[in-house]
Amino acid sequence: MPLSPDQIAEIEAARATPRLTLRAVSEGMERHLYKAYPVLDHGLVRVIDYMGDDGAIVQAARVSYGAGTKHVQNDEGLIRYLMRHWHSTPFEMCEIKLHIKLPVFVARQWIRHRTANVNEYSARYSILDREFYIPEPSQLAAQSSVNNQGRGEVLSGEEAARVLDMLRRDAATAYDHYEDMLSQEGQQGLARELARMNLPMNIYTQWYWKVDLHNLFHFLRLRADNHAQYEIRVYAEEMCRLVKDWVPLAFGAFEDYRMGGVTLSAKALAVLRRRLAGEVVDQESSGMSKGEWREFMEVLG
Amino acid sequence: MPLSPDQIAEIEAARATPRLTLRAVSEGMERHLYKAYPVLDHGLVRVIDYMGDDGAIVQAARVSYGAGTKHVQNDEGLIRYLMRHWHSTPFEMCEIKLHIKLPVFVARQWIRHRTANVNEYSARYSILDREFYIPEPSQLAAQSSVNNQGRGEVLSGEEAARVLDMLRRDAATAYDHYEDMLSQEGQQGLARELARMNLPMNIYTQWYWKVDLHNLFHFLRLRADNHAQYEIRVYAEEMCRLVKDWVPLAFGAFEDYRMGGVTLSAKALAVLRRRLAGEVVDQESSGMSKGEWREFMEVLG
Amino acid sequence: MPLSPDQIAEIEAARATPRLTLRAVSEGMERHLYKAYPVLDHGLVRVIDYMGDDGAIVQAARVSYGAGTKHVQNDEGLIRYLMRHWHSTPFEMCEIKLHIKLPVFVARQWIRHRTANVNEYSARYSILDREFYIPEPSQLAAQSSVNNQGRGEVLSGEEAARVLDMLRRDAATAYDHYEDMLSQEGQQGLARELARMNLPMNIYTQWYWKVDLHNLFHFLRLRADNHAQYEIRVYAEEMCRLVKDWVPLAFGAFEDYRMGGVTLSAKALAVLRRRLAGEVVDQESSGMSKGEWREFMEVLG
Amino acid sequence: MPLSPDQIAEIEAARATPRLTLRAVSEGMERHLYKAYPVLDHGLVRVIDYMGDDGAIVQAARVSYGAGTKHVQNDEGLIRYLMRHWHSTPFEMCEIKLHIKLPVFVARQWIRHRTANVNEYSARYSILDREFYIPEPSQLAAQSSVNNQGRGEVLSGEEAARVLDMLRRDAATAYDHYEDMLSQEGQQGLARELARMNLPMNIYTQWYWKVDLHNLFHFLRLRADNHAQYEIRVYAEEMCRLVKDWVPLAFGAFEDYRMGGVTLSAKALAVLRRRLAGEVVDQESSGMSKGEWREFMEVLG
């Protein structure tokens, strides 16, 4: 993700000119504003703007005239209470706007989260850059044999080399032809909206993505999870780091109740109570399927 | 809408402590932050927070690394282009959070706009204040005889007096009984979540309402319109004044293309073209119904 | 909820004329279509239309050309898997349209679920009926002393009588005055959009409400819960009965994983594992607050 | 779009078994159910399910106990009134579920319409078919010289041949390598979620897409428009044909007020009124920019 000198200059200019505001300010987030944090080989996450802080959550929950409470401890207790009891609307009162650069196949997964605002760089209007995601060898994983949508072991050296070679070569060829088709030297030049269809899905796109904190937490719970595909998880993890500095109390509650929390079914809860009462329960007497039982045993550790 | 001394102090405290930020700042909006602008007899509109300015719309449309263009004129041209061609996503990149105090029957209409975040003061949890909307005599209108959902002339003096008396008396009685039911002196005291049902719909409630600029414009187009009920229109008009100072270029485009604009049907367009070509067209030869024709004639002025 | 003869005739007419369709049909739901199921003293729930059945969930999850699997058992396993792993989109592929009659203070809570379509009877356009919710004596509960938004014991006889009297009397007076204000005999008659403000919030309104199954389950989880206010919970419970007949497999999974399920925080999970390993853990050594500990103990039973 | 014998058999089986229902039935739509209508070279549109008909719009607008009015003429008048005055909620009471097969670059544009439900065939879980969109020579257009996101003239023969050759060759190579990477013969086989990134964006994907009629109309207005990219417009046009048979009255109003309608700005309206009053107005005296003036002249014909 090497930024151009112009881009670096624009970011530095944006960071060089603090201005006065009467709005709620998150000092933790001000440190991150506009900076380009690299993700994958050419991707990035940048915070463009934010609205609100931990106090704004408390303030909205109380529909108050002033700011949050006088004591951070009270704010934390209330925020934890709201999170624990699924009061989602106060968390919707914080908003964040991010600039994300990401491979198209990741973007296609990302956009399924509908409750957000998006402006994507248009390949109908503009020409995409020659930037493709090529995985690190450590991420070149085999198909999982137990989970249709998962990864198994890392590919061995020779197979990995063949794969990387194909990915690199096909990307290069596709982009060369993209440029050939667009070229207006000695020919008319194909419309951009058509030429783009030749590009593979590991090409990078970028967008502005704006979302409220409640929906961001929902995104992070699903995408920073172990079961999420690695290539979107690294974005989610980078965003977790930023959100933690923005709204530390809300993020703490989110970590405890959502990220680190588990959901038990009625059947699982019944088994748990029997076990706590001293009974020995196995899968057959649990009423749970084998898959559910295995997942339940993982939860119990 | 007399604020309590505590509320005034909280607002003044919030306005007394500017802080530094690297975010986009709208000077026009900073002047309004936290101030309570009165609407109706006890209502108010207050801006609690905002995200973005005119430049943020341009920046998002371009998915750029820096701020908007160098020239305000270019920004305005692009913003007008976006509005004219229904490119709504760049306008979604600005966000505003308002504190609104409003009668319940207005709140019920307002909430039908679903693409917004809301935290309402809870009458299940807290006790509502004794504040009711009583219309000005100039707003005590008769039922329209031509439009089922409209107003006709202002009521004459005696009838108006009777109406005002009923509204005032019923509100006072209902609130007295609300307090009687809640009271725990010499009795158990009815649950708040039940006692509230006795209150009439002109009682005031309040909420924090957060919305993006695109959806706010949609709200304003419908609610600042002449056909909107007066009691919600005055809120929309107050908000127009604030939005104009926040994002003057976007608001100018909105005024031209949406508020002041009109939509013509295919039939109306066909008639218009015939008239511009010199033909005389009346309702019968227009293919339009009488109602459509009347509305069309109003458009042509 | 006495229906008028005309309404009964309309419902019977609608049920008298089965037609042929090639769409998925839920026999369980066909039995309920159009019938008015009473809720509270004047409320009702009616199914007006539905789209899809259990098979439609499976079919969408597989993006298949045909219907669901050949075996109900496979359908159930897949539906349970989808529910357990928070795959919400297949459940969005079923849709239901309901006609609901409910008190305004319940409608105000209900409408906070934004991902649904609503057409409400307009008191701006039409005149509301003289129907008010008056609680059963068994539901006249005192304010809870431990929970600001909850109910305590049932009111004693004399206090209950006073409350019921106030509710009945204020409703009658308000409606009499509503009619007085609207009357055009010997006066102009106040506009409907103004007169409605005098009505208390226990008056009944009605609407058509359309929602997909995923969002309906979210509604039911929150509103059929013990902590929900009784007056909305009875609607949710009636809807549970209907949904169970519509999509029995999906409803079974919902009951097990959502309604009967519990969420444990990371802290609670750590304590649980320590206890299962034989350790004695109390609130002080748990790292949980007293409130959290009490809720956790309730979960463990 | 050659369907497999299995697929054809599944469609025929679905169409062979009409069942009885008490729900609203649209005869026009029953004729289309399940049938695969081809779009582009391998794409298709199939109606999987629908809810409601023209009568359901009227019924919801009236919150009535029975079906629509007795007279089709009244239904039409009300539906036109609702459309003309932007009453969108009654149109939300109809719903449609479609099975769409479409190139990925079209899917990326389509998904920007957020108010819909989607289940897409997962290339993380399954293996995509070897099907790519290759434009007809008549659709191989040059980049527009006046509009950055538009098409100009059709490419001349030799250039067209080169483009088609590149598109075909790159697609074939990418798919060969996709299969090579996935293969588990003599190697581990790359994970599906990784291998898919090598595929170009003209590969076909498919999804179930469910949307209400109001939001579908919004989609069709933008995507069946002349300015929409050809490759999505042909889907929109096919869908228009289906919707017309489903809800003919609503579609008629949509055609008149939305598809064939135009929006004039306040400035344009002022100019129009001056011209109708006999005044000669040109661009300079209009207050409009050159671009706006040109678009306005096109509207006037």
Same domain, B58 and B111: yes
Question: How high is the mean pLDDT of chain C?
Answer: 94
Chain D adjacent subunits, 3+ CB pairs under 8 A: A, B, C
Residue C126 Cα, gap to closest chain D Cα (Å): 10
At residue D141, the 3 state secondary structure works out as strand
Residue among D89, D222, D276 minimizing CB distance to B300: D276
pLDDT (0 to 100) of residue C70: 57
Mean pLDDT of all residues in D272-284: 92
What residues of chain D lie within 8 A of the CB of A184, using their CB? Answer: 143
Burial class (CB in 10 A: 0-12, 13-18, 19+), A252: middle
D202-240 b/e with 16+ CB inside 10 Å = b? bbbbbbbbbbbbbbbbbbbbbbbeeebbbbbbbbbebbb
**Best mutation site among C32, C37, C51 for testing chain D: the one with the most D CBs within 10 Å?**
C51
CATH number at C229 reads 3.30.1360.170
Same structural domain, C151 and C161: yes
Q: Per-residue pLDDT tens for D19-68? A: 999 999 999 999 999 999 999 999 999 999 999 999 999 999 988 776 65
For residue D167, what is the nearest residue in chain A, using CA coordinates? A198
Q: Is there a single domain that holds both residue A117 and residue A128?
A: yes
What is the distance in angstroms between the Cα of A119 and the nearest Cα belonging to chain B?
6
- Percent with pLDDT over 90 in chain D: 88
Q: Which residue of B has its CA nearest to C202?
A: B197
Pairwise CB contact (< 8 Å): A61 & B119: yes
Given a contact cutoff of 8 angstroms between Cβ atoms, the answer to whether D198 and D180 are in contact is: no
Closest residue in D to C36 (Cα) is D65
Number of A–D residue contacts, CB under 8 Å: 165
- Angle CA C209–C212–C215, to nearest 5: 95
Which residue out of A23, A62, A80, A223 is catalytically annotated?
A223
pLDDT, tens only, C63-113: 877 665 556 668 999 999 999 999 999 999 999 999 999 999 999 999 999
Q: Hey, are the CB atoms on C180 and B191 less than 8 Å from each other?
A: no
ipTM above 0.90, yes or no: yes
| Chain A neighbors of D184, CB-CB under 8 A | 143
Domain identity same for D208 and D282: no
> Mean pLDDT throughout A192-201?
97
Q: How many CB pairs under 8 A join B and D?
A: 77
Residue in B39, D198, B196 with CA at minimum distance from that of residue C106: B196
- A266–C272: do the CB atoms touch at under 8 Å? no
Please write the tens of the pLDDT for every residue from C140-159: 999 988 887 789 999 988 99
Predicted confidence at residue B64, as pLDDT, reads: 76
Q: Which of D162, D168, D223, D294 is catalytic?
A: D223
- The DSSP secondary-structure symbol of C121 reads P
- Which of A170, A175, A211, A229 to probe the D interface (max D CBs under 10 A)? A170
CB contact under 8 Å between C25 and D48, yes or no, is no
| Minimal CA separation from B103 to chain A, in Å | 16
- In three-state secondary structure terms, D119 is strand
Distance from CA of D277 to the nearest CA of B (A): 10
D172 and D103 in one domain?
Answer: no
Q: What percent of chain D has pLDDT over 70?
A: 97
Q: What is the mean predicted confidence (pLDDT) over A118-125?
A: 93
Asked if B51 and A97 come within 8 Å (Cβ–Cβ), the reply is yes
- Which residues of chain C lie closer than 8 angstroms to D65, CB-CB? 3, 6-7, 10-11, 99
Q: How far is C29 from chain D (nearest CA, A)?
A: 10
3-class secondary-structure state, position B67? coil
Alpha-carbon distance of C100 to C98, in angstroms, equals: 6
Task: Check B30 against A22: CB less than 8 A apart.
Answer: yes
DSSP symbol at C139: G
Residues of A in Cβ contact (< 8 Å) with C264: 261-264
In the predicted structure, residue D70 carries a pLDDT above the cut 80:
no
- What pLDDT does B32 receive? 98
Asked which of C173, C200, C227 is the last residue of a domain, the reply is: C200
At B246 the pLDDT is: 98
What pLDDT score does C68 carry?
Answer: 52
> Does the pLDDT value for residue A68 go beyond 70?
no
Q: Terminal CA-to-CA distance of chain B, rounded, Å? A: 40
Residue A2: exposure state from Cβ atoms within 10 A (0-12, 13-18, ≥19): exposed
Contacts of A76 (CB under 8 A, 6+ apart): A249, A252, A253
Low-confidence ranges of chain B (pLDDT < 70): 1, 66-73
D136 has pLDDT over 90? yes
Q: Give tens-digit pLDDT for A278-300.
A: 899 999 999 999 989 999 999 99
pLDDT for the residue D68 = 53
Q: What is the mean pLDDT of residues C29-48?
A: 97
Could you tell me which chain D residue has the CA closest to the CA of C65?
D7
Domain that holds residue B182: 134-200
CB contact under 8 A, A60 and B208: yes
Q: Which residues of A touch C291 (CB under 8 A)?
A: 81
Based on the fold, state whether residues A92 and A118 are members of the same structural domain. Answer: yes
Same domain, C119 and C164: no
Measured in angstroms, the CA of D49 and the nearest CA of chain C are apart by 6
Give yes or no: residues C24 and C40 share one domain: yes
Mutate one of A51, A65, A111 to test the B interface: name it (highest B CB count within 10 A): A65
The residue of chain D nearest to residue B267, with distances taken between CA atoms, is: D256
Percent helix, strand, coil in chain D, to 5, is 50, 15, 35
| Average pLDDT value over all residues in chain A | 94
**B41 and B175, same domain (yes or no):** no
Chain C contacts of B139, Cβ < 8 Å?
194
End-to-end C-alpha distance for chain D, whole angstroms: 40
Contact call for D256 and B265, based on CB within 8 A: yes
Of the partner residues C103, C107, C143, the one whose CB lies closest to the CB of residue B192: C143
Q: What is the pLDDT confidence band of residue A149, given thresholds at 50, 70 and 90? A: confident
Nearest to C276 by CA among A300, A283, D296, A79: A300
Task: Look up residue B202 and give its two tokens.
Answer: 């002109």
For chains A and C, count residue pairs whose Cβ atoms are closer than 8 Å.
77
Q: Based on the structure, what is the number of domains in chain B?
A: 3
CB–CB of B206/B100 below 8 Å? yes
Sign of CA dihedral C54, D64, D33, D251: negative
Closest Cα in chain B, distance from residue D101 (Å)? 26
Question: Which residue in chain B has the smallest CA separation from D228?
Answer: B85
Q: Tell me which of D200, D221, D243 is where a domain ends.
A: D200
Mean pLDDT value across residues A159-176: 97
Say if residue B99 is in the same domain as residue B129. yes
**pTM (predicted TM-score):** 0.96
pLDDT of residue A147: 80
Q: Does B44 lie in the same domain as B94? A: yes
- Same domain, yes or no, for C66 and C152? no
Give the model's pLDDT for residue D107. 98
Contact C20 D15 (CB under 8 A): no
Closest residue of chain C to B188, computed from CA coordinates: C142
D21:C17 CB<8 A = no
- Extract the tokens encoding B276: 């511009």
Q: Is the pLDDT of residue A70 over 70?
A: no
Q: Distance, in angstroms, between A47 CA and closest chain C CA?
A: 28
Q: Do D99 and C13 touch (CB under 8 A)?
A: no
* Contact call for C143 and B196, based on CB within 8 A: no
For residue D41, the SS3 value is coil
Q: Mark yes or no for CB contact D261/B269 under 8 Å.
A: yes
Mark yes or no for CB contact C141/B194 under 8 Å: yes
Enzyme catalytic residues of B: 223
| CB-CB under 8 Å, D210 with C93 | yes
Separation CA A177–CA D6 (nearest Å) = 38
Which residue among A33, A51, A120 sits closest to B97, beta carbon to beta carbon?
A51
List, in order, residues 6 or more apart from C230 with CB less than 8 Å away: C139, C151
